[in-house]
Amino acid sequence: MRLLSRSEELVLLTVWNLQDEASCLPIQRKLEQATGTSWSLGSIFDPLDRLERKKLLASHLTEPTKERGGRSKRVYRLTPLGRRELRNLRSIQEALWTEALGLETEPERP
Amino acid sequence: MKKTSTPPSRPPRDAEWLLRRLFADSGDYSHLGDFEEIHTAKIAELGKRRADRWYWGHVFKSLPAFLANKIYWSMSMLRNYAVMTCRTIVKNAGYSLISLLGLAVGLASFLLILAYVRFETSFDRFHDKGDDIYRLISAEVKPGETPGEFEANSPDPAASTLKNEFPEVRHAARVMKQFNDPAILSFEGRAFAQSGLIADQDFLEIFSFPWIAGDKSRALTAPGTIILTESTARKLYGDADPVGKTVSYAIRRGKADLMVSGVVRDVPARSHLQFDYLLSLATLEADRNNAYMFKTWDVANFTIYVETAAARDLENKFGAWLAKAQPDVAAGGLRFFLQPLKDIHLHSNISGQLATNNEIRTVSLFLAIAVLILLIASVNYTNLVTARASTRAREIGVRKVAGADRRQLVRQFLGESILFAFLALGAGLALARLVLARFNDMAGIRLGFGDLIDPSFFPFVAATTLVVGLLAGAYPALMLSSFQASKVLKEHAASGRKGSRLRHILVVGQFAASVALLICALVVTGQLRFIQNRNLGYDREHVVLIPLREPGTAAQASALKARLLQQPEVESVSRTSGLPTAIRSRMIDQQLVSDSGETIKTEYHFDYIDEDFLDVFKIELAAGRNLAPAEQNAVLLNETFIKMAGWKEPLGKEVDFRGKSVVVGIVKDFNFGTLHSPLAPMALFPNEGNILAVRLRPGNLQAAVDSLRRSFETVTRSQPWEYAFFDEEFDALYKKERRAGQLFRTFAGLSVFIACLGLLGLASFAVERRTKEIGIRRILGASSSGLALKLSREFLGLVLIANVIAWPAAYFAMSRWLQSFAYRINLGWGTFLLAGFGALVLALITVGTQTIRASSSNPVDSLRYE
C-alpha cells in the first residue's frame, strides 16, 4: 500500500472536518488557520484531484451562485475508503509516537 | 485602468480568459469560481488593483506547468500520427508512390521555374546607383499617337548635350558593341577571341562593376586603353599584374597595341551588359575613319546611359531643347525617352539592343504554368485519399471511440498531407538536381543547385510546400473526420462513393488544364515551324559564313574568294557586310524627293554587299539589274522602299544618300528582321564587307567545310579558322521563342503525365473495389472487352468534358499570343483535335491497363474468397 503525502493527508483530514462545507475555499481557510502558513489554491487543487482519483474523496457540483460569477461549486466528501485510510495513517503514527516518547528520558542536546 | 466592460467586482477579463483556457482540457470550470470568490474577498481586503494583480499572478504561475504538459502530450500524439502516416504510406505503397511521384514532379517543376523566374527578374540589381540609371531610347511619335517601335541606339551628341545643358544629369555614358565582335586579343603568342564593349569614362562612373586594379578615375579617358575582366587578364598574363601591360587587339579594320588600364571582376550573369573587355571610346574617336558616327545627329550608333535623379522632367526638357536646337531631328517626330535600368531585361522589346533580353510575358507565363502543374499534382493526392477513404474508416472509428474529437482528426490528416508534401519536396529536390543541367540548357540560364536551396529563396519554397500540403489535405481531412464511429465500425466499410462528385470535378479540372497547356504548346511549336519554313524571300540552307576578323586576312579576301570558287563544292561566294537576317544599319533622317517634287522625310535600313550577294542568298530581283563587279555609286532598293517613296520610274534615278547613287535594281521584299516585325524599306550599297558567305552545293556538308578550311589555311594563317552555318544564325533570331517553346512543351508534357498518374491511381482503385462485381458479371456472361469499356467509360467521359472546357480557353490565349507576330498561322481545328485526341488516347491507355487486366482475369480468382 502507498502512503499519502503530508499535504494529501492534511487536505483529506480537513475535508472530513468541514463535513458538508468542504469546497476549495473553506478548505484553504481551514488549513491556513490550522497550520498558520499560507496555502495557494493550486496547492489544494492538486491533492484534491489526486485524492479523488484514488477514490478517497468524492465530489459533486452545487447549484451556481451569484457571488461566484454564476459558476457552480465543487463540494467534496470523504468516501469510506478515505475514512479508512485516515484512520490507518493515524494508527501508524500513534504507534511510532508511543515508541518515540518512550525514549524521552534521554537528555536533549543543547 | 480601463475595464469598463468588467463590473468592478469581476476579475480582469483577459486573465479570466487565459485561466479558462488552462482548465479547458479537464472541461471542469468550477475552479474558476473559486478564484473569483477569493478575488472578490481580496477586493474588500486590499482594493481592486491589488486583487487584480493577485489574480494575474496566479494565472502566470500556472502557465509553465500547463505548457510543459501540453507539449508532452502533443509530442506523444505527434509520434503516433507519424507512425500512422508511415504505415499508411508503406501499406499502400503503389498509391502512395503515384501521389508522391506526381507531387515530386510538380514540386520539382515549380522549384526550377521559380528559380528561373527569380533569375530573370534579378537582372541589373547590383549597381549602387541602379535607381538613378536610365537608358536613352527613342521612337518616332506622330502627333496624337502613342510611341510604337522603340530604338535603343542614339546619336553621339545626345550624350554631351544631356551632360552640358541639363545640370540634373550627373553622367551620360556612350556604349557600343564592336562591329567585328569578337576581337582577337593577344599577348606574347597567347591569343583569344573575346567579345567586349566600347565605352567612355562615364560608363565607369555610372555602373558599379567591381573594380580590382588600375586607376578607375581615368581608365577609359585616353585613346588606346582597354580594361580587362579578371578571367581575360588571367588568360593573357597568368598571375602577373596586367595593369600597364600592352595587349594586341585585332579586328578586320586593323590591329593596334593597347595599354591595359584596369581590371574588373567578371561580369555577373545577371547583367544585361556583358563583356570580356572594355575598350575606350576615345580610341575610336581618334581614328578618322570613324568620324561619320561622331558629332552628328544623323547616325544613331550608341547606347546612351544616363544617371539622373529627375528622369520624368528631363524627358520633356530634352524634347523641348531638341525642338529648338535641332529642329531637323525633331521635325521627323523623333522623341527621346528614359528607360529605367531595371526595365531593360524584361520590359523592353526594342530593336538595336546590346544583348538579347527576355520578356516579362514569358516569365509570367511560366510562373502560371508552375502553379498549374502544382495544382494538378495536389489534386492527385486529394483524389486518391478521398477515393480510398473507406480503407481508413476503421482507424477513424477506433480513434473516435477512443475519444478523439473532430478537430484532432482534422489535425491528424492535415499533418499527414503536410508530411507527405515535404517528402515529395525531398524527392522533388533530388529530381530537380538531376535535371538541372538540362533545364539550364533549355532555358538558356546558369543555375547551380545552390540557387535552389538559397536561404533567401528556399523558405518560400518550403512555405509553398506547406500550402500545397494544406490544400491537398483540406478536403480529405474534412471528409475523413466526418465519419461516424457507430456507422463505420458496425457496417462494412463505407462504399467510397462519398465525395465522388468532387473527385470528378477535380479530374475534369486537371485534364482541362493539361489539354489547354498541350494545345498552347502545339500552337507555339507550329508557329515556330511556320516561321522557320516560311518562304522568306531568301534561301538559308547550305550557306557557310566565314568572318574576316583581322587585317591580314581581310587583305587576302580576294585571293581567298578566288581560291574557294575553284572548289567543286562551292557554288558562289560573296564578300558582304550585311546578311539577310541582319541588315544592321539604320538611317533615321533621310530626305527623298517624290515624283511630284515634294520632300519626304523618312528612314530606312541599309547595309553593304557585293555583286554576288543576291546569288549566294538566292534573292530575286523584281526589276532592273544586279550590281556590276566593282561598281560604285549604285544602289539596290527593295519594293517597300519604292512604295514608300512613291516613285513611278525608280530605275536609273539618281538619289542623294549622303553621296549620289543610281538605283540600278529593285529586289523583291524579304524579311530581314524577325517575323514579329513587318517589312521595312531597305537599301543595299556596294562595298567590301567582313564576311565571306559561301554557298555550297548540296551534298556532304561536313566534308565541304573541311575543304573550305584547307583552302582558308593555305591562303592565310594570321587568323584561326572559324565558320558558322547561316541557318544557325537564322535560328538564333528566334532563340527566345524556341526556348520558350521547348520549355512550354516539356512542362505541358509533364502536366499531362501527372494528370495521367492521378487517373491511373483512381482507375486501379475503382477496379480493385469492384473486383467481385467484375467476377460476377463475367460469370453471367459479360464479354471482357465490354467490361473494360464499361469500367473505362466513367473516366473517358471526364476527359471529354475537360476538352470542352480547355478548347475555348486555349483558343483565347493563343489567338492573343499570335497577335504579336506579323506573320502567323491560323488556329485550325486540327491542333485542338490533336491535343484532345492525344489526351484521350493517353487516358484510355492509362485506364485501359487497369480495366483490361481486371476484366480478363479469371472470375474464380476474384470470387474464391470467403
Q: Please say whether the beta carbons of B336 and B137 come within 8 A.
A: yes
Non-local CB neighbours of B63 within 8 Å, separated by 6+ positions: B18, B22
CA distance B53 to chain A (A): 15
From chain A, the residues in CB contact with B29 under 8 A are 71
Domain end point (choices B343, B369, B402):
B343
Q: What is the pLDDT of residues A71-94, one digit of tens each?
A: 778 889 899 999 999 999 999 999
Do B414 and B473 form a contact (C-beta atoms < 8 A)? Answer: yes
B436 and B319 together in one domain: no
Pairing of strands B599-609, B682-686: parallel
Helix B406-443, helix B458-481: angle, nearest 10: 140
Say how far apart CA B628 and CA B614 lie, in whole Å: 12
CB of A82 closer than 8 Å to CB of A4: no
Is B354 a domain residue? no
Maximum CA extent, chain B: 120
3-state secondary structure of B280: strand
What does the alpha-carbon distance between residue B766 and residue B760 come to, in Å, rounded to a whole number?
A: 10
Task: Looking at the structure, tell me whether residues B430 and B367 fall in a common domain.
Answer: yes
Domain that holds residue B458: 360-531+735-863
Please indicate, yes or no, if residue B352 is contained in any of the structural domains.
no
The reply to whether B22 and B138 lie within a common domain is no
Read off the DSSP letter of residue B389: G
Say which residues have a Cβ less than 8 Å from residue B102's Cβ, sequence separation at least 6. Answer: B376, B377, B380, B381, B754, B757, B758
Question: B214 φ, ψ to 5°?
Answer: 100, 175
Strand B682-686 versus strand B246-251 pairing type? unpaired
Residue that is last in its domain, among B717, B732, B747: B732
Enumerate domains of chain A plus CATH numbers.
6-101 (1.10.10.10)
pLDDT in tens, A14-39: 999 888 888 888 898 899 999 998 88
Q: Which of 24-83 (B) contact A at CB < 8 A? A: 28-38, 40, 58, 61-62
Chain A CB within 8 Å of residue B598 CB: no
Q: Is there a contact between B36 and A69 if contact means CB atoms under 8 Å apart?
A: yes
Does residue A97 belong to the interface with chain B, where contact is any CB pair within 8 Å? no
Chain B contact for A99 (CB, 8 A cutoff) = no
Nearest to B37 among A40, A61, A68 (CB): A68
Query: Residue B619: left (phi > 0), alpha (psi -120 to 50), or beta?
Result: beta
Look up residue B784 and give its amino acid. Answer: S
For chain B, give the mean pLDDT.
83
Q: Could you tell me if A18 lies within 8 Å of chain B, comparing CB atoms?
A: no
CA distance A3 to chain B (A): 25
Task: Report which secondary-structure segment, H or E, holds B478.
Answer: helix B458-481
Give the Å distances, CA to CA, from A73 to A63, B18, B31, B120, B211: 7, 20, 8, 69, 80
Write down the H helix ranges in B28-177: 30-46, 48-91, 93-120, 157-165
CA distances from B293 to B195, B198, B222, B685 (A): 21, 14, 19, 18
Asked if B155 and B345 count as a contact pair (C-beta separation under 8 A), the reply is no
Distance of CA A27 to the CA centre of its chain: 8
Report the SS3 class of residue B506. helix
- Do B560 and B609 belong together in one domain? yes
C-alpha cell read off for A97? 509516537
Q: Angle B735-769/B726-733 helices, nearest 10 degrees?
A: 70
Whether the CB-CB separation of B705 and B615 falls below 8 Å is answered with no
Same domain membership, residue B323 and residue B371? no
d(CA B842, CA B754) in angstroms, rounded, equals 12
Residue B8 forms part of a structural domain: no
Q: Which residues of chain B have pLDDT under 50?
A: 1-5
Task: Tell me: do B190 and B308 sit in the same domain.
Answer: yes
pLDDT of residue B74: 80
Terminal CA-CA length for chain B: 75
Which letter does DSSP use for residue B7 in this model? -
On whether both B704 and B849 belong to a single domain, the answer is: no
Taking CA atoms, what residue in B is nearest to A74?
B30
For residue B104, what pLDDT is reported?
A: 94
Last residue of a domain, one of B343, B369, B392: B343
Q: Quick one: B137 and B20 in the same domain?
A: no
Nearest to B31 among A45, A67, A69 (CB): A45
Q: Measure the CA angle with vertex B350, ends B347 and B354; round to 5°.
A: 95
Residue whose C-alpha cell reads 521555374 in the numeric block = B113
| Cell numbers placing B585 | 544599319
Q: Can you tell me the distance from the alpha carbon of B226 to that of B244, in angstroms, rounded to the nearest whole number? A: 10
Residues B689, B786 within the same domain: no
Cell of B149: 517601335
In the numeric block, the cell 556604349 is attached to B175
Q: What pLDDT score does B2 carry? A: 44
Q: Are the beta carbons of B326 and B589 closer than 8 angstroms?
A: no
What is the spatial distance between Cα B331 and Cα B140, in angstroms, rounded to a whole number? Answer: 10
CA B421 centroid distance within chain = 26
Determine which of B17, B30, B32 to mutate to test the interface with A (most A C-beta atoms within 10 Å). B30
Residue B127 near residue B208 (C-beta atoms within 8 A): yes
Q: Do A25 and B34 touch (CB under 8 A)?
A: yes
Q: pTM above 0.80?
A: no
Half-sphere exposure of A94 (CA within 13 A, CB side): 6
Neighbours of B548 (CB within 10 A): 24
Give the total residue count for chain A: 110
Burial B325-363 (b: 16+ CB within 10 A, else e): ebeebbebebbbbbbbbbebbbebbbebbbeebbbeebb
Contact call for B62 and A41, based on CB within 8 A: no
Instruction: Look at chain B and report how many structural domains it folds into.
Output: 4
Residues 172-231 on B with a CB inside 8 Å of A are none
What is the pLDDT at residue B1?
42
Of A42, A67, A71, the CB nearest to B30: A71
A40 at the B interface (CB within 8 A)? Answer: yes
- Cell numbers 473527385 correspond to B503
Q: Are residues B564 and B524 in the same domain?
A: no
Residue B162 and residue B289 in one domain: yes
Closest CA to A29 of A44, A7, A16: A44
Nearest residue to B252 (alpha-carbon basis) of B556, B686, B579, B694: B556
Question: C-alpha cell of B799?
Answer: 476527359
- Minimum distance, in Å, between the CA of residue B400 and any CA atom of chain A: 24
Cβ contact B31–A24 (<8 Å): yes
Mutation target among B37, B42, B59, B60 for the A interface, most CBs of A within 10 A: B37
- ipTM field: 0.74
Grid cell at residue B587 = 538611317
What is the Cα–Cα distance from B505 to B515, expressed in whole angstroms?
Answer: 15
Short-list B535, B521, B518, B520, CA closest to B823: B535
- Tell whether B89 is covered by a domain: no
For position B772, what pLDDT does the model report? 80
DSSP assignment of B802-813: HHHHHHHHHHHH
How far is C-alpha B742 from the geometric centre of its chain's CA atoms? Answer: 11
Contact yes or no for B416/B89 (Cβ under 8 A): no
Res B4: pLDDT = 45
Q: Which of A92, A15, A102 is nearest to A59 (CA)?
A: A15
C-alpha distance from A69 to closest chain B C-alpha (Å)? 7
Tell me the C-alpha to C-alpha distance, in Å, between residue B473 and each of B261, B382, B478, B785.
Answer: 63, 6, 9, 37
Same-domain check for residues B389 and B329: no
